[in-house]
Amino acid sequence: MTRIPVPSRERLIFAMDVADADAARKLAERLGDSVQFYKLGLELFMAGGYFELLDWMVERGKRVFVDLKFFDVPATVGSAVRNLAGRGVTFATVHGNQGIMEAAAAAKGDVKILAVTVLTSLDRGDLDDLGFACDVDKLVLSRARRALEAGCDGVVSSGLEAAALRAGVDDRLIVVTPGIRPVENRPVDDQKRVVNVEQAFANGADYIVVGRPIRDAADPQAAAEAIQSTIAGVFGGRA
C-alpha cells in the first residue's frame, strides 16, 4: 500500500480526453466536487486554449497533471518544463532517456516530474515490435530506477507492475497508475494492461488515472463519486 500521504479524493485523477477546451470546461463543471485532480493531455493541447484551461482549473482549486510526455533534446525539454513553473501544475510527464529525464528534473521547480515507464496500451507483442527483448516488468523496474537516479519524482506505470516497483525501488517514488477499469475491460478498449481500483492501490499506486469509465458514463458525476467511494473504502477514510 502507498505510504505517501494524500487526501483520498485527490487520489483519483480524471483524464480529460475531450475535443476542446470548451468541452473540458463544461464537463468539469458537470463533475463539480466529484473530481479534484485533472490530467490534460495531447488532444486538448492540439485543440488550442490549453494553458487558458489549465489556469481556469487552477483558479478553481483543482490540481492539474500536464501529460504531454516531453521527448526532445534535453535542452529543449528542460526549457519546456521550466515554462510550467508558477502555473500551479502538480505533475508533468517525460518519456525519454537519462539525459531527457535529468534535464526535466533540473528544470522542474515546483512541478513534480513523472517518467513514463511502459504505456498501458502496450503488451508483450508490442514491445517485441519496438525491439525490447526484456520482460515488461523488468523494463518498468529499470526505467523507474533510472528515473529516480535522474531526479524525477515518480513514474507512470500500470498497476500490474506497481507491486514490483514498491518492492524493488525506493518508497519515495510516486506511482501514478493509468489503465484503471472499474468493470471488465471492453473489447474495443485500447488499454491492455489494466487493473481495477482496489488492485491498483493494493499493489502500491499513489494515484489512479481514470478516463473513459467516467467520461462515457450516463452520469459522469455519479461514476466519479462511485470511484471516490471505492477509494475511501480502500483507505478507510484516511488521507
Residues with catalytic roles = 69
- Residues β-bridged to residue 155: 115, 175
Give the integer Cα–Cα distance in Å for 166 and 164: 5
Using the 8-state DSSP alphabet, how is residue 116 labeled? E
Q: Grid coordinates in use for 220?
A: 459522469
Q: Whose CA is closest to 189, among 159, 210, 220, 218?
A: 210
> Cβ distance 85 to 110 under 8 Å?
yes
Give the integer Cα–Cα distance in Å for 63 and 85: 14
